[in-house]
Structures are given as C-alpha cells and as structure tokens.
Chains A and B, each alone.
Chain A
C-alpha cells in the first residue's frame, strides 16, 4: 500500500457525462500529480498541484479540470466525456518542495470506461 488513495477504482459512464475522480495523498505530501494512461500507453502528465496551487500543467484537455483542497486531497473533473477518454487515471503524491524533488507514490488508479 503506497498510502495514496484513489476513488472510485472503477467507473463506467456514458459519453457526454461528467465524472469526478478523487485522490487522497500520503500524509505529509504536498504535491499531487494526475496522469492518464491509455491502453498500452505510457504515463501522460495532466496536472500538478503543490500545497493547494497549480504548479505545472501538461496536455490537459479544456474539458478536464482539477483542484487541490486545503486538506490537500485533490479531485480531477472530466466533462463532456468521449470514448477516447477511457483510460486508467493515476494520482501520485510526493513531499517535493520548490527546491527539491522526492519520490512520488502512486495510487492504484481509477479505471474509467466511457461507453
């Protein structure tokens, strides 16, 4: 167990719908990362938050948004879902400060299936 909790583990929804994925980082970790992994693909970086603020952004679609709350948990919102959004979405957390990086721990992922 990495200490990073993602819910739900599985999600099946229809095209056009909106879903929210939730991530609770390890205790004490300030950074939260979101990654998308499509079938047989690598880890595509979506967005990073550090202590409540957006720190870095990848090729995240405009239909996707995220936020990190004061208690440091994070949510990834996916709207107007398309079949191509079906993927495994990972959240990772690290202690990482602005000057130093540390190991990132991954959650088990949320498998999203859009039908």
Chain B
C-alpha cells in the first residue's frame, strides 16, 4: 500500500519568512496530492491540492510542487503570518482509493 513520509515534524520560522514542508510517497499509481491544515482542536481543512498531470500550483501565498519521477511533493508558504501556525498534513491517493496522510508538520510562526 501507499506510504507517505513527511518532513520536518516541527518547523519554526520568523514572521515574513518562507516555510517549506516536504513529502515523499511510495505508490507510483498515486495521482492526487492534497495538503491539509489543522488548527488546534479543529478538523483538517484542505488548503491546496495538485494532480499528477501538473508540476506546480499556486494560490496566493501557498504553492505546491510535484516531482512524479522522484515521487515527492512540497508545500511552500511565503510571507508567513502568525495565523499560519498549525499542523500541516500532506496526503496521497490514487484510483479512488484511500487518502494516506503523512505524519504532520507543526509549523510555528514567531513574531
């Protein structure tokens, strides 16, 4: 089955700096890669996703890149703000099958 690894587990940045979270996946059949943000005590919410026919996708301060050959994808957050502090999860899925999540990255944006 699919295995998703996520790094780093914790990330601390200064407000205004960029943050990068990286994930690798094992199943070459996976073709859908969403990223979720989970604030303390709340449900995970989708912030951006990418499909395997696209190499990069951007939405304001958030971007995701995908390298199918290397089986890795990354989340980039620019101009970080305190409200970006949360746990971020990457996930991979393919063929209508289960979403497999990474172990999460605790992002802390310091003033």
Are B43 and A48 interface neighbours, CB within 8 A? no
Are A2 and B43 interface neighbours, CB within 8 A? yes
CB pairs A–B below 8 angstroms (25 shown): A2-B45, A33-B98, A43-B44, A43-B89, A43-B104, A45-B98, A45-B99, A45-B100, A48-B98, A55-B98, A90-B44, A94-B99, A96-B96, A97-B96, A98-B95, A99-B96, A101-B31, A101-B32, A103-B34, A103-B46, A104-B99, A105-B46, A106-B43, A107-B43, A109-B43
Chain B interface size, as a band, is 20 to 34
Closest 6 CB pairs of A and B: A101-B32, A56-B98, A106-B43, A42-B103, A98-B96, A43-B101
Minimal Cβ-Cβ distance residue in B for A94: B99
Interface of B is mostly: loop
Instruction: Give every chain B residue within 8 A of A42 (Cβ-Cβ).
Output: 89, 101-104
B97 located at the interface, meaning its Cβ lies under 8 Å from any Cβ of chain A in the complex: yes
B66 located at the interface, meaning its Cβ lies under 8 Å from any Cβ of chain A in the complex: no
A108 located at the interface, meaning its Cβ lies under 8 Å from any Cβ of chain B in the complex: yes
Residues of A within 8 A of B (CB): 2, 31, 33, 35, 41-43, 45, 48, 50, 55-56, 58, 90, 92, 94, 96-109
